[in-house]
């Protein structure tokens, strides 16, 4: 059987990009059980409630939802258990330092397979205020309207 290559997206956390200002992103591996990997290969997961914390020098992903494997037996995993993240020591230390300063948090953005290995993209983020969220929505709407006007102008010119 040929080895899997490329990137296959499993789940993304669009809400995080709306709620937080992304400062820095990291790619981390995860320690998973066999039934979790099989469930992920079926494309079933959710990062909406997930968060990352650092405890005793280790990074952990908690409250991310990976449902039980349908064909699993009594050895199936708990859907919302905490999962260890695999990062370099310097990255963990930097994340720990930044979150201790205050106002910063670590959120999962995407869950995907990269060359057959499950990875999670995490981000060092700062919570947005309500007016920041409104401004982001306004900018996106203005950009959309400008693109529409440009494309309409192109169609008229042809």
Mean pLDDT of 88-116: 94
Instruction: Average the pLDDT over 121-143 and give the result.
Output: 88
Per-residue model confidence as pLDDT tens digits over 34-77: 888 888 998 889 999 999 999 999 999 999 999 888 776 667 77
In Å, how far are 24, 59, 62 from 55, measured between CA atoms? 20, 7, 12
Pick from 112, 131, 132: which is nearest to 30 by CA?
A: 112
The yes-or-no verdict on residue 134 having pLDDT over 90 is: no
pLDDT at residue 15 tops 70:
yes
Average pLDDT score, the chain? 89
pLDDT of 156 over the 80 cut: no
**Mean pLDDT along residues 8-35:** 93
Helix (H) or strand (E) segment spanning residue 24: strand 20-30
- The pTM for the full model equals 0.80
């Amino acid at each position: 059987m040929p080895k899997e290559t490329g990137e296959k997206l499993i789940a993304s956390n669009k809400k995080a990009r709306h709620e937080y200002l992304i400062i820095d992103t990291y790619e981390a591996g995860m320690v998973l059980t066999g039934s979790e990997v099989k469930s992920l290969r079926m494309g079933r997961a959710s990062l909406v409630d997930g968060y990352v914390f650092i405890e005793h020098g280790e990074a952990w992903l908690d409250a991310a939802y990976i449902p039980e494997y349908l064909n699993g037996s009594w050895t199936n995993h708990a859907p919302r258990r905490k999962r260890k993240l695999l990062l370099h020591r310097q990255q963990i230390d930097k994340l720990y330092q930044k979150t201790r300063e205050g106002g910063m948090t670590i959120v999962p953005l995407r869950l995907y397979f990269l060359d057959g290995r499950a990875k999670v993209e995490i981000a060092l983020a700062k919570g947005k205020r309500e007016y920041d969220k409104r401004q982001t929505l306004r900018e996106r709407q203005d950009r959309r309207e400008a693109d529409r006007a440009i494309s309409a102008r192109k169609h008229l010119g042809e």
